Chain A
């Protein structure tokens, strides 16, 4: 059963590899690249939010740290892009290690507030430093190949997804994280060290996010504190995850695609009403929490056992056989 799922994921991934062969319009390919980026940010957000139970409102900090590390190494030290981006991921991982010690002791809203505050602190720090260019941001050497960036982003997010699939759905690690999410004290009695597991999850979430940030910086060639370290990165990832289905791998992917499609359409036709977008994001999250506690995935008929809350509680629809294709395409 699990292998059939994996085949489905691989099939979808293979299909996305063909996108540049079909899409020749540069703007459209940019849109696809950004969609893939958001899938990556949503999936990495969910490792902590869904599997571990921690809402990280400082997710943007990892993205920004990766972006700035890459930019600084490339511009100020003349590094090549690839090692710079890898080091961006490492820097985000180290950031998670440092931020995790004080914050992962907190629970619920306290963790959300603490991580949000840390992200704001980093944003302020970047604003006043010289090496980051302060509020003027940084301009990177331009490499104008939409195809290159599509494939780099896709490869990165693909590797992240399949690594997560193995670690969270196949290996014991995912179940252990869920045990900590459900009951930390109870988990301790079963030989699990919650602090260590949470730290591992935090780093697992941060490293790919940092690398994605690095790719983003090189791709858009210009970064500033608002675009890489602002609230919107964390907030949008959160909405995608909650809307798609927390605590699953496919949920954030589906959520990211739907929300990003909406966002793109919104900016294309209604860009005069910028404030409206934030209001709609807020409404979507409030609505999801109330009406779709398991996200869009939760309303699809499936064998719910693997995705947390039992199918028994969801009425007769839940006993229908699961539809594999529905999951993959959203």
Chain B
């Protein structure tokens, strides 16, 4: 197998006395889609924030393309090829959809005209081109989630962290977004995705990593993980369902 693109090695993130993520290790290989699942509060978003540079790890390290990136700020990681979306979408509401994507395009295309050209391509790809001149605030939730993906995509990332890009969408929009994610993979982008909707995560993931109370409790192909007694207990046994 090829060199892993991302290595999470014994990663711990403490907030005060609370270990939100505790000694988690896993790897992601190029062109894989890896699903990160777990009950609410399992530490998925914290793990995302550490990998994308928003939090520095308390212990352990993260290697991206063989280089240690632990504690590097998000804007440096964006330059290295890591794109991310936010669970609570972060469009720039006062700016147009096009401007939102142009800003992300500046990373690879510092000239404004080239950045706009690039942004239009991204908008075509994410099917937002007809809304380009609307303000980002006027988009529907589905539109805002697509814009979120579009902005991450405009960075020309090699690795994409998707945080609940499907949650809150209706079934048609869900299928639409799944198609979009699969298209990204076909473009050669490696994806780590957090998602609560099992139908989605089971369908698109090559492998799953399961977290509970900040610890990794299972890892493997979706079919296998779904039958894992520890995972079933985490989801059903804790009184959560």
Residues of A within 8 A of B (CB): 170-172, 175-176, 178-179, 181-183, 185-193, 305, 308-310, 312-313
Among A186, A189, A192, chain B packs the most CB atoms within 10 A around the CB of A189
Beyond the given pairs A175-B95, A191-B75, A309-B135, 18 more chain A to chain B contacts, judged by CB atoms under 8 angstroms and listed by A's residue number, are: A171-B112, A175-B103, A176-B103, A176-B106, A186-B92, A188-B78, A189-B83, A189-B84, A189-B151, A190-B78, A190-B103, A193-B73, A305-B135, A308-B94, A309-B94, A310-B135, A312-B135, A313-B138
Q: List 26 A-B contacts (CB under 8 A).
A: A172-B106, A172-B110, A172-B111, A172-B115, A176-B103, A178-B95, A182-B95, A183-B90, A183-B92, A185-B54, A186-B92, A188-B74, A189-B52, A189-B90, A189-B151, A189-B152, A191-B78, A191-B79, A191-B104, A192-B106, A308-B94, A310-B96, A310-B134, A310-B135, A310-B138, A312-B138
Q: Which residues on A sit within 8 Å (CB–CB) of B102?
A: 175
**Is B93 an interface residue when CB atoms closer than 8 A count as contact?**
yes
CB pair A188 B73 closer than 8 Å = yes
Bits for B122-135, please: 1 = Cβ < 8 Å to A, else 0: 00000000000111
Q: Which residues on A sit within 8 Å (CB–CB) of B79?
A: 191
Q: Which residues on B sit within 8 Å (CB–CB) of A183?
A: 90-92
B56 to chain A, nearest CB (A): 14
Q: Which residues on B sit within 8 Å (CB–CB) of A182?
A: 92-95
Complex: A308 Cα to B99 Cα, angstroms = 10
Instruction: Name the interface size band of chain B.
Output: 35 or more
Q: Which residues on A sit within 8 Å (CB–CB) of B54?
A: 185, 188
Q: Which residues on A sit within 8 Å (CB–CB) of B53?
A: 188
CB pair B112 A172 closer than 8 Å = yes
**Is B19 an interface residue when CB atoms closer than 8 A count as contact?**
no
Complex: A156 Cα to B12 Cα, angstroms = 55
Given contacts A191-B79, A193-B73, contact A175 B99 (CB under 8 A): yes
CB pair A189 B138 closer than 8 Å = no
A221 to chain B, nearest CB (A): 44
Q: Which residues on B sit within 8 Å (CB–CB) of A179?
A: 92, 95, 103
Complex: A145 Cα to B115 Cα, angstroms = 48
Among A170, A181, A183, A312, chain B packs the most CB atoms within 10 A around the CB of A183
B78 to chain A, nearest CB (A): 4
Q: Which residues on A sit within 8 Å (CB–CB) of B152?
A: 189
Given contacts A172-B112, A310-B134, contact A191 B107 (CB under 8 A): yes
CB pair B92 A178 closer than 8 Å = yes
Complex: A309 Cα to B136 Cα, angstroms = 10
Q: Which residues on A sit within 8 Å (CB–CB) of B133?
A: 305
Given contacts A179-B103, A185-B54, A305-B133, contact A191 B155 (CB under 8 A): yes
CB pair A305 B96 closer than 8 Å = yes
A7 to chain B, nearest CB (A): 20
**Is B137 an interface residue when CB atoms closer than 8 A count as contact?**
yes
Closest to A182 in B: B92
Closest to B106 in A: A172
Q: Which residues on A sit within 8 Å (CB–CB) of B74?
A: 188-189
Q: Which residues on B sit within 8 Å (CB–CB) of A305?
A: 96, 133, 135
Complex: A90 Cα to B110 Cα, angstroms = 28
Q: Which residues on A sit within 8 Å (CB–CB) of B111?
A: 172
- Interface residue ranges of B38-72 to A (CB < 8 Å): 52-54
A-B residue pairs, 4 tightest by C-beta: A186-B90, A310-B135, A182-B92, A191-B78
Complex: A191 Cα to B115 Cα, angstroms = 14
**Is B235 an interface residue when CB atoms closer than 8 A count as contact?**
no
CB pair A312 B134 closer than 8 Å = yes
Among B78, B83, B94, B134, chain A packs the most CB atoms within 10 A around the CB of B94
CB pair A191 B106 closer than 8 Å = yes
Complex: A308 Cα to B102 Cα, angstroms = 15
Closest to A309 in B: B94
Complex: A176 Cα to B112 Cα, angstroms = 11
CB pair A192 B138 closer than 8 Å = no
Among A182, A193, A313, chain B packs the most CB atoms within 10 A around the CB of A182
Complex: A170 Cα to B54 Cα, angstroms = 31
CB pair A190 B151 closer than 8 Å = yes
A304 to chain B, nearest CB (A): 9
B131 to chain A, nearest CB (A): 11
Q: Which residues on A sit within 8 Å (CB–CB) of B154?
A: 190
Q: Which residues on A sit within 8 Å (CB–CB) of B155?
A: 190-191
Closest to A304 in B: B135
